[in-house]
Amino acid sequence: MNKVIIGFCAYSGDTALCEGNALVIINQKKIMKNFTVGLHAIELCKIPLVDLFQGLDMGEEFCLDEAAFTLFEEYAELSFFNISSHTGDKGIELYRISLGQMNVFSS
CB count in 10 Å sphere of residue 13: 7
Give pLDDT, residue 35.
86
Alpha helices in the chain (DSSP H): 29-35, 49-57, 66-75
**pLDDT tens track, the chain, 107 positions:** 668 999 999 999 889 999 999 999 999 999 999 888 888 889 999 999 999 999 999 999 999 999 999 999 999 988 899 999 999 777 889 999 999 875 444 44
Listed by start position, the domains of the chain span: 5-99
The Cα angle at residue 101 between residues 70 and 93, in degrees rounded to 5: 30
> What is residue 106's predicted lDDT score, i.e. its pLDDT?
47
